[in-house]
Amino acid sequence: MEENQKYWFVVHTYSGYEERVRKNLEQRIKSMDSQGEIFQVVIPTEDEIEVKNGQRYTVTKKILPGYILIQMRMSDQSWSIVRNTPGVTGFVGSGSKPVPLQEEEVSRILKQMVAEAPKVKVGFRRGQSVRVIDGPFIDFMGIVDDISEGKGKVKVLLSLFGRETPVELDFLQVEKL
């Protein structure tokens, strides 16, 4: 690790305290005039679409729960500022010395955060019984046969005219029984 070089480090926090730690740390950086040593504090998150009760909700989900990323120059002062922030349990690394993240790891995490479309979180699984709540097959019962998360579609086996028929429906058209 070179002196005066910016690196990304992973800092472990109490679970669920990531936002509080980020705010505390940003406050400490300002009050201790350390903007020249600690540059960015990031909570890695991504948006996910959940379907509940026929409604779509966009939820922000932590990619690394219990961890935050910090871009900084490692010095005794910057280490102390981060280490002594309430809610921080320590730097991630071997032994007592923090290990910076590789550039590829940082870019992969940051790229995952700015993905174009939010992922769809599906409340169904194969073999599960569902009821159609919208469209031409409303009130039909069926079994989930296949899930296409990318398309937001689910293939359901419905009993039509005495035989099982696969029908592709939108996530919003079915609900769990």
pLDDT digits (tens, 9 = 90+) for 129-144: 999 988 899 999 999 9
Alpha-helical regions (H) of the chain: 18-31, 76-83, 103-113
| pLDDT per position as a tens digit, 10-35 | 999 998 999 999 999 999 999 999 99
Same domain, 42 and 107: yes
Same domain, 139 and 107: no
Same domain, 17 and 68: yes
Same domain, 109 and 68: yes
Same domain, 107 and 135: no
Distances, alpha carbon 169 to alpha carbons 52, 76, 137, in Å: 16, 58, 10
| pLDDT per position as a tens digit, 51-95 | 666 677 788 889 899 999 999 999 999 999 999 999 999 999 877
* Number of domains forming the structure of the chain: 2
For residue 160, what is the domain's CATH number? 2.30.30.30
Same domain, 79 and 157: no
- From CA 176, how far away is CA 22, in angstroms rounded? 38
User: Domain span at residue 28?
Assistant: 6-117
Contact assessment for residue 19 and residue 86, using Cβ atoms and an 8 Å cutoff: no
For residue 76, what is the domain's CATH number? 3.30.70.940
**Does this model's pTM top 0.85?**
no
Same domain, 113 and 128: no
The DSSP 8-state label assigned to residue 134 in this structure reads: S
Same domain, 126 and 63: no
Contact assessment for residue 18 and residue 68, using Cβ atoms and an 8 Å cutoff: yes
